Amino acid sequence: MSAFIITRIQTGDYDDWRPMFDQDRPQAREKALLQRVLRSSDDPNEVFVYLEYQTLEDANEARDRLLASGVLDRFDDKHGPNVLIDAG
């Protein structure tokens, strides 16, 4: 069963944030089958990160790595990472 992670982040400055995101230091995206970074049309510094994984276990592992790394702690305005499954 596929699983997904969706995270919303107010980056403050997208151009400063993006290079750090691309490094993927927590290695949360190493097993991702698909990744998308979407920017709000109202505020280009607000991003939604969409990741797809082959299994729920892979998504939970990625979420745990992301949380343990502390990389999201620098953002006051965020939601997630949320692990989701297809409602089918």
From first to last of its 88 residues, the chain has per-residue pLDDT tens of 899 999 999 999 999 999 999 999 999 999 999 999 999 999 999 999 999 999 999 999 999 999 999 999 999 999 999 999 999 8
Burial of 53 (C-beta count, 10 Å sphere; 0-12/13-18/19+): buried
Nearby residues of 80 by Cβ (< 8 Å), 6 or more positions away: 5, 6, 7, 8
The answer to whether residues 49 and 5 touch, using CB atoms and an 8 Å cutoff, is: yes
Query: Hey, what CATH topology would domain 3-85 get?
Result: Alpha-Beta Plaits (3.30.70)
The domain segmentation of the chain, as residue ranges, is: 3-85
Nearby residues of 44 by Cβ (< 8 Å), 6 or more positions away: 14
